[in-house]
Amino acid sequence: MNDLSLSQTAIDFDSSVDPLDMIEEETAPAPDPEVMLQLLHSEDKQELIQAVRAFCEITDARAIPSLIEQLSNNCPLIRVSAAYALGRNTDVATVEPLINTLNHDFNGYVRKGVVWALGNSGDRRAFQPLLKALKNDIGAVRLWASTSIANIAKINYDDIITTIPVIIISLRQDNISAVRSNSAWTIGKLCRELPYNVVYATAIDALIEALVEDEDLGVKEDAKMALLKLGDPRGLQMIEELEFEGLI
């Protein structure tokens, strides 16, 4: 195993916030792209890590081929940093390598970074891999799959119809409250793209159910916010009743 472990990175991989928000704000100027492009080819591991992580902050299309190459590095810290960097430096050429990494990388933190990057890609090729990750992967990956898939599915009506039943299962059954919260948010976002039909009505039922029955206050709050943003009459009525009774 490589001597550089994932615990040495400053990114909080278990957080539900945008991973790029976890990069500390620098008072110094942003990294120099010309210097970082050179360091992407360095044989010194620390310099290579510095360069890959720099492209989590800066964008430069010239870095993309080298970042794709680093998805195969034997160091998981470099692979996960490359995934986040490709989430910032999006390009159609990155989608297939990211999908391949999602399907084959043994490290869950790397797959989580890949899921986030695929969500940023806006490329429909990522839809089925993200849906599979939402169904089958570990909690840290499911956490981001539920939101990343919304960015892809909203592009295509059939994808929305396919996604919502899976997200509803996640909202009802996932044992990690943060995943359920993200699922509530995703349902709310996807429902904005739907006409009033049976799928929409079923999604509203699921949000109301989470609002009433979920034991986690964060999940309740996200379900409430999704219903408020949708402005659905049934959802608004339930919120009003629960607030009147002092239950939320």
Domains of the chain, earliest start first: 1-153 (1.25.10.10), 154-248 (1.25.10.10)
Cβ-based neighbours of 141, under 8 Å, separated by 6 or more: 108, 111, 112, 115, 133
The one-digit pLDDT tens for each residue of the chain (248 residues) are 333 434 333 333 344 444 444 444 445 678 999 999 999 999 999 999 999 999 999 999 999 999 999 999 999 999 999 999 999 999 999 999 999 999 999 999 999 999 999 999 999 999 999 999 999 999 999 999 999 999 999 889 999 999 999 999 999 999 999 999 999 999 999 999 999 999 999 999 999 999 999 999 999 999 999 999 999 999 999 999 998 888 77
The pLDDT of residue 30 is: 84
The pLDDT of residue 27 is: 52
Q: How many angstroms separate the CA atoms of 198 and 205, rounded?
A: 10
Cβ-based neighbours of 173, under 8 Å, separated by 6 or more: none
Q: How many angstroms separate the CA atoms of 60 and 238, rounded?
A: 49
Q: Which two structure tokens, joined as six digits, stand for 176?
A: 């990690």
Quote the pTM value: 0.84
The pLDDT of residue 11 is: 37
The pLDDT of residue 141 is: 96
Q: Which two structure tokens, joined as six digits, stand for 165?
A: 């039943």
The pLDDT of residue 28 is: 63
Q: How many angstroms separate the CA atoms of 72 and 63, rounded?
A: 15
Q: Which long-range contacts does 188-192 make (Cβ < 8 Å, 24+ apart)? A: 188/225, 188/226, 188/227, 188/229, 188/230, 189/150, 189/154, 189/226, 190/150, 190/153, 190/154, 190/160, 190/163, 190/164, 191/164, 191/226, 191/230, 192/229, 192/230
